[in-house]
Every structure is written in structure tokens, then in C-alpha cells.
């Protein structure tokens, strides 16, 4: 079975954007949780949502770039919906590893991000950016 080279390149670009999102996510989560003393799951959600907006913009204009920008609102709505489902998955995984298995909060968060990244790439590639990719 031959793997589509364009798919691999897009996945690598998506991964680079995702790595920047991890930095944004962890930074916002840490600031909210440790400095502002916001509840850990609210802080996690704020970090996740901020990273989602950042990732959308970077993916929109770099990974899945197109001159046709007529449906940006619809595209962002799709991206954000996928991210909200991802957030639910993220918080569930974070809860399981942190609360049930007693792993460190940030290690649990990293595991959740890794798993949710597969969800995000798959559904954004197949659904959100279908007219763009």
C-alpha cells in the first residue's frame, strides 16, 4: 500500500503547528492553574481553547492554505466543533490518568494531547479542510 506523500507532508506541517499549540496550551494552563489558581479542569479548557484558535489560524494559512477564503466562518465552525469534541476527549483522558491512575497532572495532559492530536488531524483533514487540501 502506497502512502500519499501529500498526506505525509500535511501531517508533518499539522504536527509542527500542533507542537506550537502544545506550548500555548501548557503555558495558558500553567498560568491559569498555578498563578491565577483557577480550577485545573477550567485551566485545562482555557489552555486547550486558546491553542485551538492559534492552531486553526496556523493550519488555515500554512498547512491547508488556499486563496479561496469565502467560507472561513464555516471552516472555523467545523474546526472548532472538532476541537470541542477533542476537548471532551482531552478532559476525560486527563481525568482518567490524573485522578484515577494518580499520574502527574502535566504528564496526564501531555498523554491527552497526544491522543487528541490524532482525532484532530484525522477529522480536520477529512472534514474541515476538504475543499482546501
For 34-73, what is each residue's pLDDT tens digit?
999 999 999 999 999 999 899 988 988 888 776 666 667 7
Position 124 scores a pLDDT of: 84
- pLDDT by residue (tens digit) across 102-125? 999 999 999 999 999 889 888 988
DSSP codes joined into one string, 79-104: HHHHHHHHHHHHHHHHHIIIIIS---
Say which DSSP state 36 is in.
S
Query: CA 89, CA 110: separation in Å to the nearest integer?
Result: 13
- pLDDT by residue (tens digit) across 20-33? 999 999 999 999 99
Amino acid at each position: 500500500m502506497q502512502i500519499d506523500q501529500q498526506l505525509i507532508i500535511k501531517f508533518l506541517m499539522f504536527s509542527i503547528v500542533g507542537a506550537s499549540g502544545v506550548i500555548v496550551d501548557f503555558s495558558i494552563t500553567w498560568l491559569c492553574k498555578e498563578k491565577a489558581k483557577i480550577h485545573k479542569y477550567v485551566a485545562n479548557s482555557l489552555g486547550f481553547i486558546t491553542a485551538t484558535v492559534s492552531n486553526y489560524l496556523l493550519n488555515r494559512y500554512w498547512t491547508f492554505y488556499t486563496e479561496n477564503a469565502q467560507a472561513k466562518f464555516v471552516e472555523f465552525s467545523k474546526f472548532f466543533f472538532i476541537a470541542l469534541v477533542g476537548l471532551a476527549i482531552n478532559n476525560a483522558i486527563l481525568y482518567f490518568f490524573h485522578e484515577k491512575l494518580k499520574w502527574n497532572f502535566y504528564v496526564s495532559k501531555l498523554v491527552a494531547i497526544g491522543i487528541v492530536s490524532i482525532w484532530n488531524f484525522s477529522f480536520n483533514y477529512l472534514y474541515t479542510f476538504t475543499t482546501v487540501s
